[in-house]
Each structure stands twice: as structure tokens, then as C-alpha cells.
Amino acid sequence: MENFNSFNLSENLKKSLKGLRFTKPTEVQSKTISFAINKEDILASAETGSGKTAAYLIPLIQQVSTNSKVSGLVLTPTRELAQQVADVAKLLVGYRSGINISLLVGGASMTNQLNQLKKYPKIIIGTPGRINDHLSRKSLSLRYFNFLVLDEADRMLDMGFGEQVDKIVEHLPEQRQTLLFSATLPKEIIKLSKKYLNNPKRVEVKDNNVIKSQIKQKVVNTKTEQKYDELLDEITVRKGSILIFVRTKYATEKLKKRLTRDTVKSSALHGDLRQNKRNRILEDFRNQRFRILVATDIASRGLDVPHIGHVINYDLPQVPEDFIHRIGRTARAGSIGEAVSFVTPSDKKMWKSIEKLLDQLKNPDKQNRDQNRDQNRDQNRDQNRDQNRDQNRDQNRDQNRDQKPYRKRNRKNSKSRKYYQKTSK
């Protein structure tokens, strides 16, 4: 696919794409857009950084602007991601389109959101909790929202939003188009897709942007008590913005304080901060007012700050998949990035799992081979088990049959013995 022309997009969208300098669709965009414009449901496994936001926003905006009966709801797991999606949506819609977009996320002013809703937005982007708040206070009706996007669905489930999403879907019309995007496709997501999607087209992005060679990886084997000094060394030798991941909210604040004491300016980002503070910190980081952001995994997904040159895993994540999302914060849109990971002796097991995952993602063919091997092994095991069970059943039945006359004979004998005893008395 050379450019966006083959999709027959509205003039407005074409102009916006030009303004954004999106000249060629990314892989996930080429694969998704034509299906989605043709009103197909889609189950897409696309990594962060692949261009998935525009992959669903372009067909949504195209449909909304050409058909007055289409309205779209985009659900995201985090407020930050919702904000980012809303920003891209506004740029794609353009200023004079007359299409209202509403952002409904927790931690933000209710009054403002109620005012937005009075303008009958055609596109709503939000997080499950706040959308449900509006539904239960009846300030929002989703009766006509017939285009649903579930973005980062795996993360949504990880964060325990499954029930909230169920509740929201109950308010949507049954006749609708649904697009589900997920970085990974565990069985919970497949189950979810069966529940919400109707005969979906599968979109798979083979070219795994996140672990492309643009991300240079460095591993620092160290001890817990030496980690901080190693961190200072890494910060000193690196130029440009750095995102440091730690495990807990408390650890973000603690590390920020330590860095401040050593005259290194940084900010801490975590889920306990008020939403407007979170927004302000991100905006300052985006505008390069400070260079170092210390964050929990709240920043591991979706965050799109092109100038992050380095991701430092000061603490390893709790699940290997988060490592992929973390390092995907660097090397955005084709730039170069570096990832540094501190590995202490107690991290060895997690690091092994991460390496295994990286290896699988880099060698999808090998992964397929392994999967096939596992499938075959499971099939053989099941077949053998069934065969053994059948054989045992047959054997038992035959044995029982053989034993029956014997038992009967015995019973008969015993009766006759009794009879004999009786009569002989």
C-alpha cells in the first residue's frame, strides 16, 4: 500500500492526514482500514507503536462524517491513553468538521463533561469507570453508539475492567460494529472477542515495531544496594529524555527525592496523583521542561512522547509482557531508542521469562513451530489417554462378562448349599 488514496477517504480526512504527515499507512492501518470502512468487526493483535490509534480512528471518523447514523465509543484502560486518543481524534477530525468529540475520564471535572455531553458528541473516548458513572446517573445514553472500539483490551482485563466493560456493552445497540485491539491474545481475550464480536476479521501485525532493531538493549547485572549508583552513572552518560520504571508508587516518590538530593531534576508519575497533576506532569515532560520521569507501569502503555530516548528498567516489571510495553515508549515513530535493564540476583527468574518472550517475539516462526509442537504433543497425549481409557473400559467389561457366570454359578452353588443344608436338617 503506497498511500491512503485507495481507501476513498473524505477530503477532510485526507487533509488532516497530510497535516499529520502520515503519508503511508502503517501495516496495521493497511490491514484494518478497508475492513473497518466496510463495517466488518475486527480482532487485531497490534503492538503499541504500530499506528493502531489511527487504524481505528480513520475508519470511525470516515463513517461518522459520511453517515449521520454512526456514532462511536472508544474505551481505553487508562486516562492518559484516552487523552492521547482524543488528541489524535481531534487532529484527524479537523477544526471545521462540526463533529463533537467528548473525553470522559475519571479524575476530571464532571461539570465540564456534562456540558460536553449536552452538545451530543458523535465520538466519545473514555475509561470504563467514568463512562459507567455517566450511565448510572443517566447523563449519557449509548443507544445510538453503533461503533465500538476496545483499545488495549488485554490491559483493560488486567486492570479488572471486565465487568465494567460488560455493563457498558449492555447499553449499546446489538446492531453495531466492534473493533478489538489487543497487544496480546490470551484466552481471556479470545473469550471476550467471542462475546462481543461478530465473525471478526483477524488482523495480525507481523512486523513487531516495539522490538525492532531501533531499540538498543543493555543489561546491567548488579546488586540491590548498588542500583542507585549505577543509575546515576547511566543518567550521566545519556543525553535526551529518560523514562525510569520502578515497581511501586512509593518507589517513584522515593527515587525522585534521592535524585533531587543529587541535583538531578525529575518528576514522579503514578496512579495516586490527582488527574490534573498527572496531566500537568505529562505535559511538562512532553514539552521537555524536565528530562527524567520516574513512573510506575501506569506509563508503560500507550504513552506517546517521541523524544524519549532511553527507558531504564530500574525495577523489572511484574509480568514479562509489561517489559515489551515499557521499552516501546522509546524509538517512537521510527526514531532510535535505548533500553537499560537492571538485573539483581533476585530478578534472575523474571529476567529469564522476559528473555524468553523477547526471543519468541523476534522469532515468530520458531514460536509457531513451538506452538505446533505443543499442540501436537497435547493432541497425542489426549489421543493416548482416550485410547487407554477405551482399552481399559473394554478390558474391564470383558473381565466382568467373564466373571459373571462364575459369580452366578457361585451364587447358585451357595443357594443350593443352603437348600441342601436346610433339607438335610
DSSP H helical ranges for 328-363: 348-362
| Whole-Å CA distances, 332 to 110, 302, 377 | 33, 11, 40
Q: Answer whether 222's CB lies under 8 Å from 345's CB.
A: no
> Least CB distance from residue 381 to ligand AMP, whole Å?
40
C-beta closer to ligand AMP: residue 190 or 333 = 333
**Least CB distance to ligand AMP at residue 155 (A):** 13
Smallest separation (angstroms) from ligand AMP to the CB of 328: 9
Q: Which of 16, 49, 244, 273 binds ligand AMP (CB under 6 A)?
A: 49
* Pattern 14-33, ligand AMP, x by CB under 6 A: --------x-xxx--x----
Touching ligand AMP, residues 303-322 (CB under 6 A): 304
If the CB atoms of residues 47 and 338 are measured against ligand AMP, the closer one turns out to be 47
Spatial separation of the C-alpha atoms in residues 289 and 242, rounded to whole Å = 12
**Residue 142 makes contact with ligand AMP by CB under 6 A:** no
Cβ of residue 43: shortest distance to ligand AMP, in angstroms?
17
Q: Minimum distance between the CB of residue 26 and ligand AMP, rounded to whole angstroms?
A: 5
> Minimum distance from CB of 84 to ligand AMP (Å)?
7
Considering only residues 332-351, where is the footprint of ligand AMP by CB under 6 A? Answer: 332-333
Within 287-306, the residues that bind ligand AMP by CB under 6 A are: 304
Torsion (CA) 376, 378, 379, 385 in degrees, nearest 10: 140
Backbone angles phi, psi at 320, to 5 degrees: -55, -35
Contact residues for 329 (Cβ-Cβ < 8 A; gap 6+): 243, 299, 300, 303, 305, 308, 311
Residues 78, 128: Cα–Cα separation, whole Å: 9
Residue selected from 7, 43, 51, 56 as contacting ligand AMP according to rule CB under 6 A = 51
Q: Which of 13, 33, 54, 294 binds ligand AMP (CB under 6 A)?
A: 54
Minimal distance, residue 36 CB to ligand AMP, in Å = 15
Among 16, 30, 53, 266, binds ligand AMP (CB under 6 A): 53
The residues with which 218 forms a beta bridge, in sequence order, are 340
Binding-site size for ligand AMP (CB under 6 A) equals: 15
In sign, the C-alpha dihedral spanning 6, 9, 11, 15 is negative
CA atoms within 13 A on the CB side of 380: 6
- Shortest spacing between CB 57 and ligand AMP, in angstroms: 9
- The 10 Å CB-count burial string (b at 16+, else e) for 385-396 is eeeeeeeeeeee
Q: Which is nearer to ligand AMP, 234 or 297 (by Cβ)?
A: 297
Query: Which residue, 22 or 290, is less far from ligand AMP as judged by CB?
Result: 22
Q: 50 or 132: whose CB is closer to ligand AMP?
A: 50
Q: Which residue has the cell 480512528?
A: 57
What does 41-68 look like in DSSP terms, one character per residue?
A: -EEEE--TTSSHHHHHHHHHHHHHHH-T
Pairwise CA distance, residues 90 & 99, whole Å:
9
Output 46 or 281, the one with its CB closest to ligand AMP.
Answer: 46
What minimum distance in Å lies between the beta carbon of 28 and ligand AMP? 8
Binding site for ligand AMP (CB under 6 A): 22, 24-26, 29, 48-54, 304, 332-333
